[in-house]
Amino acid sequence: MARMPKLIITCALTGSAVGPSQTPYLPITPDQIADEAYRAYKAGAAIVHVHVKDPKDGIPTADLKIWRETLTKIKEKCNEATYQ
């Protein structure tokens, strides 16, 4: 049996313009996003692409506190994970 070539699996967890009114499955809190990142990691994803959301309303945010919390939680769950 021929071996498959190596590949990189990436997973976009949140979408940039998707809101909670469009789907009840959208992770919006740092914990929810980290949980989904971990699920993707366990399924073989090498990269997760994240747009952090304000946990109160699910609207995209640039709040560094929320980014830091989200990325820290992802790193804790996915011990081999790196982020830039």
Residue at 83 is within a domain:
no
Q: What's the confidence (pLDDT) of residue 6?
A: 84
pTM for the predicted model, two decimal places: 0.85
Render pLDDT for 14-45 as a digit per residue (tens, 0 to 9): 988 888 899 989 999 999 999 999 999 999 88
Q: What's the confidence (pLDDT) of residue 48?
A: 92
As a whole number of Å, the end-to-end CA separation of the chain is 37
Structural domains of the chain, count = 1
Q: Which helix (H) or strand (E) holds 64?
A: helix 64-77
**pLDDT band at 80; cut points 50, 70, 90:** low
Residue at 3 is within a domain:
no
Q: Which domain holds residue 41?
A: 10-77
Residue at 69 is within a domain:
yes
Q: In this structure, what token pair is assigned to residue 82?
A: 């790196």
- For CA atoms 42, 73, 48, 46, the dihedral sign is negative
